[in-house]
Structure 1
Amino acid sequence: MSLPRTGVAEVVVPLLVRDLTPTDLPACTWSGSTAHLMQVERELVRAAAGDVDYLALCTPADVPVAIGGIDYQVTASAGTLWQLAVLPALQSCGLGTMLIRAAEDRIRSRGLHRAELAVEESNPRARALYERLGYLAHGRRPDAWDVQAPDGSLLRYETMCTLMHKDLP
């Protein structure tokens, strides 16, 4: 392949959406701290029980480049998207859109017709993506979770989130 003078070329790579597995976690360190990955591992136990789906968007080498969960226990009539993450070097390339559409398909496959999520108010890029995909804001709520400090200790992170939903036809 020869590159144009600008040194930029387009490469098209097929991607596969599948269930995330515990063996994927070492390849997902880009998605968060060790504490975060331990939480994802616990969620995979819930996935095995059918309470959640945890998806991986993978390259042809079967390496996850986007991951995210759908919790069916938060609201009886909806799937709640959470822990959505895209490999930082590939953000703004459409992977988040692909992951969210796959999650919406999973929700529909369970006979549900509504997707919900909470987005941090300090993350306007994510909110803009959700709005482009048809999600509507309907409220706010504080949220908090533990994050790992550089020294390995756990700190409590507190934030305000906008609640959003989308009806799935």
Structure 2
Amino acid sequence: MTDVVLKLSARDLLHADLASCGWAGSAHHLAGVARQLERARLGEVDYLAVCPATDIPVAKGGVDYQVKEGVGTLWQLAVQPALQSCGIGTFLVQAAELRIRNRGLRHAELGVEENNPRARALYERLGYVAYDRQPDSWEEQAPDGTLRRYETMCTLLRKDLP
């Protein structure tokens, strides 16, 4: 067996990238990401793309600086399904943490759905510690195109950044 090594880079997600991010969610989700890119332009959030040499995103996610004072809140983290468990999620989280530190902040937080133990294991492996739980909800697009409200319970995790 031969190992394949991808050289990855993290950069700002661009509107032009959205056409190649269908793996990340529905058209409704990507329209929401487009709105977040406007917030990125205003400096309220960072929205990252992780790309191999092709410069086409294989992972994406945001850091919101307005959820809690002095904290970067990671959200909407996603890795292309065929490439999960290859270290790309770790690379994405570490790139987001670097953005947080570059803003002079020393704390990162995120919420993970309680029905997603793989993601929680990743975050805990990266040093995140659970401190609370809270319900969350959002609109998602069903296969028939209708919107429905999705409700879930999330564990909140926090990491102090060096």
Fold match by TM threshold 0.5: yes
1:82 matched to 2:67? The reply is no
Partner of 2:49: 56
Partner of 1:39: 32
CA deviation after TM superposition for structure 1 residue 168, in Å: 0.3
Partner of 1:134: 127
Q: Distance in 1 between matches of 2:6 and 2:100?
A: 26
Give the residue type in structure 2 aligned to 1:89. A
Q: Distance in 2 between matches of 1:93 and 1:61?
A: 17
CA deviation after TM superposition for structure 1 residue 111, in Å: 0.2
Give 3-state SS (helix, strand or coil) of 2:7's partner.
coil
Q: Deviations over 1:107-160 (max 9, x none)?
A: 000000000000000000000000000000000000000010111110000000
Q: Deviations over 1:9-44 (max 9, x none)?
A: 211121111000000001100000111000000000
Q: Distance in 2 between matches of 1:150 and 1:130?
A: 30
CA deviation after TM superposition for structure 1 residue 52, in Å: 0.1
1:66 matched to 2:34? The reply is no
Q: Distance in 2 between matches of 1:38 and 1:140?
A: 28
1:147 matched to 2:140? The reply is yes
Count of residue correspondences: 162
Partner of 1:158: 151
Partner of 1:125: 118
Give the residue type in structure 1 aligned to 2:25. G
CA deviation after TM superposition for structure 1 residue 68, in Å: 0.3
Return 5+ residue gaps in structure 1 as ranges.
Answer: 1-7
Rg larger in structure: 1
Q: Which runs of 4+ in 1 moved over 6 A?
A: none
Partner of 1:19: 12
Return 5+ residue gaps in structure 2 as ranges.
Answer: none
Partner of 2:94: 101
Q: Which residue, out of 98, 104, 117, partners 1:111? A: 104
- TM-score of the aligned structures, taking structure 1 as reference length: 0.95
- TM-score of the aligned structures, taking structure 2 as reference length: 0.99
